[in-house]
Structure 1
């Protein structure tokens, strides 16, 4: 986002916290990359991570859960973050996207290893699609709850746009050896806010002559009538 909007970006926490299960995840991804997902057993993962088989199953439901455990933790953190009061729900959704990006960008090599494993296993690719939709649905539901009366198409449209932009920038990071700074995502989200006309600076991405509407009504006019007349004119 722009400097004005990005200044509001805080995310669920000031910085992603390391999971106590990180060692197991790292060991599993290393084995998956070296010998293949299907060829790697739970016993091998547990041994490489220095934990017992029973501990592994207490932490994870199965091998695929190891691959997606970060997403489960991130979704939980985003739910808590979005449940808090936010002055601007549109910016809050962008903040959430930036937080998720920061998590994976903090260790790009591990993220790239995970990405390579997922792309090589059809079942994991299918679960990835479902996981992406969970983020989109979370944003959609949050916007509808935070902005009563919001057109559902606007809620789902913005949620889908933010999710798509996030995934596009993240894939640039995962597919190449170079770093892709968060400023790239901020800029793209900034444009998304302008496209929807909800950027904090009040600017839109278009300069059409009818983008700004000025209306004057008597102070005594009922609010409902003001809304009716505005809607009539806008339609």
Structure 2
């Protein structure tokens, strides 16, 4: 029950701040006015939100906590004793998919709070300091996703650079789709978001497979050309020791 009341209180404070900023202006609105509309004391306001710009994104504090719990449940060390050796990789878990699921949760939160999201978007266009605060929130999601990937991908697939790149890609795709929705909230962009995330996952998996082949010295590269009759011809360049899987992947990539 405490979590529900806290969530409701946060929602009240967010809505109160956005409404007052939109109507009176950011600089003209005082903390006392926001606290009064949100039905909390001035001391409680500062204990919970610290500043005027923080209260605009107070709902994301709860959402970040939810994302942390969601991702933590899929880490190997969260499994029951006896399921897997400590620190080992659970093949049933796809960390890329879990990060995308977490990003979808954030997207659904915006869509589910339609009026608040639209009002906040309009407000951010007018107040530069709030846009800066939004960037801070975005970077927190990105850092959370990066750390999860670094900690959860198996050793032969994990690298800091790769984890950073995938996390940044997920956040960038989410933000691009969200901006499209905010400009036209009648659109249903969930299918587009799903496909974009699937494309990111395919790219990440293919990149790791290529790097693993190169590292093992068993790489294959294929390209296509056309013969005199116009038929497609696949030409493969093989490193010594290239296995069948590497050749098949190279030919498949060339054909697609």
TM-score grouping bracket, smaller chain normalisation? 0.7 to 0.9
Matched, 1:125 2:100: no
Structure 2: runs of 5+ lacking an equivalent: 1-5, 76-92, 220-238, 240-256
Q: Take 1:173 and 1:192, find their aligned partners in 2: how far apart are those partners?
A: 20
Matched, 1:233 2:218: yes
Matched, 1:71 2:79: no
Question: What is the aligned residue count?
Answer: 194
Select which of 9, 21, 37 maps to 1:20: 9
Matched, 1:178 2:186: yes
Q: CA deviation at 1:228?
A: 9.1
Q: Take 1:91 and 1:108, find their aligned partners in 2: how far apart are those partners?
A: 26
Q: Take 2:44 and 2:161, find their aligned partners in 1: how far apart are those partners?
A: 45
> Any idea what the Cα deviations from partners look like across 1:205-232, whole Å, max 9, x if unmatched?
xxxxxx89xxxxxxxxxxxxxx899711
1:180–1:85 Cα change, 3 Å: same
1:231–1:22 Cα change, 3 Å: same
1:31–1:179 Cα change, 3 Å: farther
1:97–1:229 Cα change, 3 Å: closer
In our comparison, the structure showing a higher alpha carbon Rg is 2
Q: CA deviation at 1:59?
A: 2.6
Q: Take 2:37 and 2:129, find their aligned partners in 1: how far apart are those partners?
A: 24
- 1:141 counterpart residue number: 147
Structure 1: runs of 5+ lacking an equivalent: 1-16, 199-203, 205-210, 213-226
- Contact persistence 1:108–1:173 (CA under 8 A): no
- Contact persistence 1:165–1:185 (CA under 8 A): yes
- 1:35 counterpart residue number: 24
Q: Take 2:9 and 2:203, find their aligned partners in 1: how far apart are those partners?
A: 40
Taking only aligned residues, the RMSD between alpha carbons, in angstroms, comes to: 2.5
> Any idea what the Cα deviations from partners look like across 1:17-56, whole Å, max 9, x if unmatched?
9543211211111111111111111111122233332332
Bigger mean CA offset, 23-32 vs 160-169:
23-32
> Any idea what the Cα deviations from partners look like across 1:53-92, whole Å, max 9, x if unmatched?
2332233212111111122222121112111126111100
Q: Take 1:228 and 1:174, find their aligned partners in 2: how far apart are those partners?
A: 43
**Structure with the higher strand share, 1 or 2:** 2
- 2:51 counterpart residue number: 62
**Structure with the higher helix share, 1 or 2:** 2
- Contact persistence 1:172–1:180 (CA under 8 A): no
Q: What's the TM-score, normalizing by structure 1?
A: 0.74
Q: What's the TM-score, normalizing by structure 2?
A: 0.68
Q: Take 1:105 and 1:229, find their aligned partners in 2: how far apart are those partners?
A: 43
- 1:44 counterpart residue number: 33
- 2:204 counterpart residue number: 196
